[in-house]
Amino acid sequence: MSSQKTAAPRHATRSLAMRHRIDRWFVRFCLVTAFVSVVILGILLSAILVQGLPTLDWDFVSSTPSASPEKAGIRPALFGSMWVLGVCALFTLPIGVATAIFLEEFKPRTRWMQAFHGFVQLNISNLAGVPSVVYGIIGLTAFGGMFGLFGTVNDPSFETGVEYFDQFISEGDRILLVPVAGAAASATAAESGLIAKTSSGQRVKVNVISPDDPLPQERRVKALTLRSDAEAGRISRKSWRYFRLPLDRGILTGGLTLMLVVLPIVIIASQESIRAVPDSLREGSLGMGATRWQTVQNVTLPAAVPGIMTGSILAMSRAIGEAAPILIICGIVYIGSNPGNLLDDFAVMPLQIFNWAKQPRPEFHTVAAKGIIVLLTVLLTFNAIAVVIRNKTQKSLT
């Protein structure tokens, strides 16, 4: 009996020592893993900085892409990324936070509403694991083409903020712009009474003559003369408020597509932040006579802001680096100017960097390294601004 009594403590001692030994080895394994990860990240960043930083200057930031690596710049892609990220944040943050508040603070009491609540929660969890390239296809179909419910790209059902012109070259080598009703309207020089619009906005009468008629001698009249068989080119002038349906492959489509990519992240992070708020705060607010919405507005939401902002920072960081869904929408095309409206063609920095990195010339790899540095700078700047906002809006729970 005595041997059995002494064996039990020895076995317990060995078991305790083994657990402590496993605990120490696990801690060491975690430290080594973290150290190796930081070293690998440091090596990658150092290689990029060594390759791109010596030749990085303001001309690279302010120039447009070029076939020559010495003249290549990232300005259109930089502005395109900022526009797309702004649209993404404008739609993602309100929708994501509102959805999280609905799921956590306004839980339904009826059976049908509980089923709907569970259906929404299940789909949010599933959407968080969908590959981003799938969202690109969805965005192109749902936002770009709108399932064909609002016409086609060449014949939209609604369009505003744009003027269409038929561009002629007169017999006096002057460019004449004749306004037309729309992109699909027809207007030829054979039609009498054509009115052209000058660069200053004045409207002038166009002199249309037959192909066999002699040209007028007066220089001013000749500059406004067109033969009836003259051919025109259709051009458009779009203002900053240009909008149409369907949206096609513009900035708005790109931003809404990225919204689909990062929306589950914002919702889940916001839900966890709202759950972390102690129930005693809610009960105290309700006990003082506040409504459920007043409790959310004045108690729960301010206390959950730090966690919500953290999730938003992670979501926007992912959005600015996404390439697959944007590749489906706009492809890799040459964009030589900044976006002028929300439906304008655009490029983003990840696609532009990828385009440079795949070039066979080594000089373009240096240009890609400079683009990565600019992308990281923009990302860290946005994150720093978000951290400052989070700290400014943070309120103590006591």
| 143-175 residue pLDDT tens | 998 888 888 887 888 899 998 888 888 888 888
pLDDT for the residue 1:
45
Q: What is the arithmetic mean of pLDDT over 231-244?
A: 88
Are 344 and 333 spatial neighbours (Cβ–Cβ below 8 Å)? no
Residue position matching structure tokens 């020592």: 17
State how far the Cα of 65 lies from the Cα of 300, in Å rounded to an integer: 48
- β-sheet bridge partners, residue 226: 208
pLDDT for the residue 143:
92
pLDDT for the residue 231:
81
What burial class does residue 392 get, using C-beta atoms within 10 Å of its C-beta: 0-12 exposed, 13-18 middle, 19+ buried? Answer: exposed
Q: What is the arithmetic mean of pLDDT over 214-230?
A: 84
Question: What does the radius of gyration of the chain's CA atoms come to, in whole angstroms?
Answer: 31
Question: What DSSP element (H or E) covers 272?
Answer: helix 251-275
pLDDT for the residue 191:
54
Average pLDDT over all residues of the chain? 86
Q: Is-cis flag, bond preceding 214, omega within 30?
A: no
pLDDT for the residue 92:
94
Tokens coding 79: 């502005």
Percent of the chain at pLDDT exceeding 70:
92
Tokens coding 17: 């020592």
Q: Say which residues have a Cβ less than 8 Å from residue 334's Cβ, sequence separation at least 6.
A: 65
Q: Say which residues have a Cβ less than 8 Å from residue 132's Cβ, sequence separation at least 6.
A: 261, 322, 324, 325
Are 335 and 347 spatial neighbours (Cβ–Cβ below 8 Å)? yes
What tens digit of pLDDT does each residue of 44-62 get? 999 999 999 998 999 999 9
**Residue 180, SS3?**
strand
State how far the Cα of 315 lies from the Cα of 147, in Å rounded to an integer: 28
Are 189 and 208 spatial neighbours (Cβ–Cβ below 8 Å)? yes
Better-predicted residue by pLDDT, 81 or 387: 81
Tokens coding 286: 């309700």
pLDDT for the residue 374:
94
Percent of the chain at pLDDT exceeding 90:
35
Q: Kindly report the backbone phi and psi dihedral angles of residue 229, in degrees, each rounded to the nearest multiple of 5, phi listed first.
A: -95, 10
Residue position matching structure tokens 């206390």: 303
Q: What is the arithmetic mean of pLDDT over 237-261?
A: 92
Q: What is the arithmetic mean of pLDDT over 259-288?
A: 91
Mean pLDDT is lowest, of 292-296, 328-332, 356-360, for: 328-332
Q: What is the Cβ-side half-sphere exposure of residue 287, based on CA atoms within 13 angstroms?
A: 6
What tens digit of pLDDT does each residue of 327-347 get? 888 876 688 888 989 999 899
pLDDT for the residue 192:
47
Are 203 and 196 spatial neighbours (Cβ–Cβ below 8 Å)? yes
Q: How is the beta sheet containing 175-180 ordered, strand by strand? A: 203-205, 195-197, 175-180, 158-169, 233-245
DSSP 360: S
What tens digit of pLDDT does each residue of 83-139 get? 999 999 999 999 999 999 999 988 887 888 888 888 888 888 888 888 888 999 999
The fold adopted by the segment(s) 59-150+249-393 is: MetI-like fold (1.10.3720)
| 266 pLDDT more than 50 | yes
Q: How many CB atoms lie under 10 A from the CB of residue 146?
A: 18
Q: How many CB atoms lie under 10 A from the CB of residue 343?
A: 22
pLDDT-derived band at 397 (thresholds 50, 70, 90) equals low
| 28 pLDDT more than 70 | yes
Question: Within the chain, what is the greatest distance between any pair of CA atoms?
Answer: 131
Domain boundaries, the chain: 2-55, 59-150+249-393, 159-243
**Residue 205, SS3?**
strand
Chain centroid to Cα 57, Å, comes to: 26
Q: What is the arithmetic mean of pLDDT over 195-217?
A: 80
State how far the Cα of 101 lies from the Cα of 139, in Å rounded to an integer: 26
Are 372 and 52 spatial neighbours (Cβ–Cβ below 8 Å)? yes
Plot region of 165 (φ>0 → left; ψ -120 to 50 → alpha; else → beta): beta
